[in-house]
Structures are given as structure tokens and as C-alpha cells.
């Protein structure tokens, strides 16, 4: 029997975070009730995003323009860079309207256990951005976890000689909590009461 | 600013049952980490399913073959037809391996409130199938709700003159419960202890 189009689709959808097999089946059935309006637009949006979206050459954000919309917005404060673990955290801060400067996506956290060292993160590109001399403040918006603290420590050491002010999020961030699941108010408050390291 | 590829995709995904906006964003981020292996295959599967999957001309099941795999399987009992509200219920019974005959999808339930009358359901095609004289038993696998009972009542009346035995699911089906969220064992037990109307 040839590969079944429905089961194949259910299998792919059920791999997405948040969708189990049962929800994937329900989603497929819903879409199959009217494929031209419910299925093909999603296929086209996926194809379009796959071809249009790239990591920003400056900050690492994912966007369909390069440099990304944040980096190319002249209204943003060009002298404050907020360092985030990943794009999810960047998006969460944007949704909170908490930060009006630029970003830098590390692409992970230092992790002795996970075998992630400084060379695996986007630290050299960050140093290059700072070397241009336009940045006044770097905000470390990293999670209050062991790995987050280790990463902040190493970054603070590297940045010590640059003359740039280093701040971090206030302790409004829950210990052990992921940044991208916090409500906007908590994020905004933690950012507002950031303090010098 | 032109329409954003990411926000458009998140919007479409968040309309799927079971996916909120937050899960849709997480799913998009996950896929954007490797579009060629995580995004394009899903786009292709959606396009393939949209073009291949059609309602079965015999029973109303959704499948990429027509007649569907159930109807064209010579090993299935050709003389027992299980009547279901929709394709979700057909798939649930198939997953339970509870029924070895054929199906007939009504496409809904009679509903005075919802304004669904007998002409809105696939009742005439069912009568045509029975008129061929090969069917010995019709199982009404309808939910134990007001609309389900009303639909079973009308179907029993229509089928009374055909000489076909009419049975319904045993009262193992919870009152007010949707069939497609039941566990396989409950479905199989209810089908096994079906009784004549
Ligand atoms: Zn950027
Ligand atoms: Zn069929």
C-alpha cells in the first residue's frame, strides 16, 4: 500500500511543539473540510517563510528582511544592545514593548554539561559590533539559571575592557524560569529595574 | 511595511484546533531553525493532501484513494455498515479496530436548533446503498446526545421497511460525550455489546 497522504501529514504536524497526535488529526480533519481555503494557504505561508526568513546578519533575529526590522529601524536606540539567548526571547521582549534599543542573539547559553563553550555562541560578532564604538550599554537579558548566570559571568569578563556599561535584568525574573513564557508585565518590570553588574 | 511572512504563518497556524498563538509561535521558531527539513516537508505534505484527499464516493470517508481504503478492502465484511456522524468518528473506530465492516458518513446530525434536516445529511446515498440488497445489518454509531438520539430515531424509521437489522452502540458511550475522544477500549466494548433497536 502506498504511503498515505493523511497519515504522513498527521505525523509531520504531531512533531510540532504543542501538538500531539490527537490534535494533529483534528487539525488535518478541519483543514480537509475545505483544502483550498484552509490547507493551501498554510502550505504557501510555510514555503514563503522558508524562502524569505533568514537570520539577521547583524543581531541574529529571524526575519524576512535582512538586516531585520529591529536593526533597520532608525527610531530604535542604537547605543543599547540587549543580549538574549535566542530568538524566542527576543520576540518575547518585543511583544512586551520593553526594550527600545537593539538586540544580539547569542544562539544558546554556556553549558558545561551540554558541552556548549564560548566559541559556540555569537560572542565574536558581538565584540565586533561593540568595537565600532557606538554602543553605550549592554543589557544581559539572560535567564536566572545556572547556565544563564555562567554565560552572564563570562560575557561580563569579556566586556570589561570595552568601556561599555553592563547591566542585567532585575531579579524580577523567576529563578529557573524561561524568559519566553513570562507575562509582558514581569518582563517589562525586570527590564526597567535592571542594574549595573 | 509589507506583510510579515512570520506573523502571517503564526496567524494561520494559531487557527488550527489545539494550537494557540503561543504554541504557533514556538512551532514556527522550531521550524525556522531548519526550514529545508522542518518547514518545506510540511508545506509539501499539505499540498499533496489537498490535491489527493477526497471524500469517498461510497461512504464519505476522507482518503487519498477513491473509493477509500475501507470500501476497497475485500477483507472487510460487506454486509455490515456502521453509520457515523463524521470522518473523525470513522477514524476513531478504525483506530480501535472495533469494526470490520463498512461505514457510512452522515456528515452531521439532525438538529432542530442548528437547522439541520434530513436532506442535509447523507441519508439518500445510504438508502441507495441498502437498496442493492447486500447489507444485512446497519449499526448506528451515533453519540448519546439529544441530536444523536433524534438522528438515530429518524434513521430507524427510514430503515424500518428495508428488512435490514438495525443495531446501535451499547450504552458504554458516555452521555453527552463525543465519540472521537473516547479511548479505544470503551469504543470497542460499546461496539461489541451493540443491541437491536
Ligand atoms: Zn537584526
Ligand atoms: Zn469509502
B197 at A interface, C-beta within 8 A: no
**Cβ contacts from A onto B, under 8 A:** 159
Q: A45–B91: do the CB atoms touch at under 8 Å? A: no
Query: Could you give the 3-state DSSP secondary structure of residue A18?
Result: coil
Query: Could you give the 3-state DSSP secondary structure of residue A55?
Result: strand
- What residue has cell string 561580563? A156
User: Closest partner residue to B5 among A8, A64, A87, by Cβ?
Assistant: A64
* CB contacts, 8 Å: A69 with chain B: 1
Grid cell of A20 as nine digits:
500531539
What average pLDDT score do residues A173-187 get?
70
- What residue has cell string 456522524? B85
Reported confidence tier of residue A157, pLDDT bands at 50, 70, 90: very high
A19 at B interface, C-beta within 8 A: yes
The pLDDT score that the predictor gives to residue B182 is: 75
- What is the A151 CA–ligand 1 centroid distance (Å)? 21
What DSSP line would sit under chain B, residue for residue? -PPPHHHHHHHHHTTSTT--HHHHHHHHHHHHTSHHHHTHHHHHHHHHHHHH-EE-TTT--EESSSS-TTTT-TTS-TTEEEEESSHHHHHHHHHTT---SEEEE-SS--BTTTTB-GGGSTTHHHHHHHHTS---EEEE---SSHHHHHHHHHHHHHHGGGT-EEEE--TTSPTT--GGGS-HHHHHHHHHT-EE-
- Across chain B, mean pLDDT equals 89
Q: B91–A1: do the CB atoms touch at under 8 Å? A: no
Reported confidence tier of residue A173, pLDDT bands at 50, 70, 90: low
What average pLDDT score do residues B175-188 get?
71
Does residue A1 carry a pLDDT above 50? no
The pLDDT score that the predictor gives to residue B169 is: 79
Query: 3-state SS string over A145-195?
Result: CHHHHHHHHHHHHHHHHHCCEEEECCCCCCCCCCHHHCCHHHHHHHHHCCE
- What is the A27 CA–ligand 2 centroid distance (Å)? 21
Percent of chain A with pLDDT over 90: 70
Q: What is the pLDDT of residues A80-129, one digit of tens each?
A: 999 999 999 999 889 888 899 999 999 999 998 889 999 999 999 999 99
Q: What is the pLDDT of residues B38-89, one digit of tens each?
A: 999 999 999 999 999 999 999 999 999 999 999 999 999 999 999 999 999 9
The pLDDT score that the predictor gives to residue A184 is: 74
Chain B residue closest in CA terms to A40: B47
Q: B26–A39: do the CB atoms touch at under 8 Å? A: no
The pLDDT score that the predictor gives to residue B144 is: 77
Name the nearest CA neighbour of B39 among A42, A34, A155. A42
- What is the A33 CA–ligand 2 centroid distance (Å)? 16
Q: How far is A75 from chain B (nearest CA, A)?
A: 15
Q: How far is B116 from chain A (nearest CA, A)?
A: 18
Q: A30–B17: do the CB atoms touch at under 8 Å? A: yes
Q: How far is A154 from chain B (nearest CA, A)?
A: 26
Q: What is the pLDDT of residues A35-57, one digit of tens each?
A: 999 999 999 999 999 999 999 99
Q: B12–A88: do the CB atoms touch at under 8 Å? A: no
Chain A residue closest in CA terms to B50: A35
Q: Which 45-74 residues of chain B touch chain A by CB within 8 A? A: 45-53, 62-64, 69
Write down the ipTM of this complex. 0.80
Q: B187 or B165: which carries more pLDDT confidence?
A: B165
The pLDDT score that the predictor gives to residue B188 is: 76
Does residue B195 carry a pLDDT above 70? no
Domains of chain B and any CATH numbers = 4-52 (1.10.8.420), 76-168 (3.40.1360.10)
Q: What is the pLDDT of residues B19-36, one digit of tens each?
A: 889 999 999 999 999 999
Q: A46–B40: do the CB atoms touch at under 8 Å? A: yes
The pTM assigned to this predicted structure is 0.79
Q: A17–B6: do the CB atoms touch at under 8 Å? A: no
Q: How far is A55 from chain B (nearest CA, A)?
A: 9
Reported confidence tier of residue A2, pLDDT bands at 50, 70, 90: very low
Amino acid at each position: 500500500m502506498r504511503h498515505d497522504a493523511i497519515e504522513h501529514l498527521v505525523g509531520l504536524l504531531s512533531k510540532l511543539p504543542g501538538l500531539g497526535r490527537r490534535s494533529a488529526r483534528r487539525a488535518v480533519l478541519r483543514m480537509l473540510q475545505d483544502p483550498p481555503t484552509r490547507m493551501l494557504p498554510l502550505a504557501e505561508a510555510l514555503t514563503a517563510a522558508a524562502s524569505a526568513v533568514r537570520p539577521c546578519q547583524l543581531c541574529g533575529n529571524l526575519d524576512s528582511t535582512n538586516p531585520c526590522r529591529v536593526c533597520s529601524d532608525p527610531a530604535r536606540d542604537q547605543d543599547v544592545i540587549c543580549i538574549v539567548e535566542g530568538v524566542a526571547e527576543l520576540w518575547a521582549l518585543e511583544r512586551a514593548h520593553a526594550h527600545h534599543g537593539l538586540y544580539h542573539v547569542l544562539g544558546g547559553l554556556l553549558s558545561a554539561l551540554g558541552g556548549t563553550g564560548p566559541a559556540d555562541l555569537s560572542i565574536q560578532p558581538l565584540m565586533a559590533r561593540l568595537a565600532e564604538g557606538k554602543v553605550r550599554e549592554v543589557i544581559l537579558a539572560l535567564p536566572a539559571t545556572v547556565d544563564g548566570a555562567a554565560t552572564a559571568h563570562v560575557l561580563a569578563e569579556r566586556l570589561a575592557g570595552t568601556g561599555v556599561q553592563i547591566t542585567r535584568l532585575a531579579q524580577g525574573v523567576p529563578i529557573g524560569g524561561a524568559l519566553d513564557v513570562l507575562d509582558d508585565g514581569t518582563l517589562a518590570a525586570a527590564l526597567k529595574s535592571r542594574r549595573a553588574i
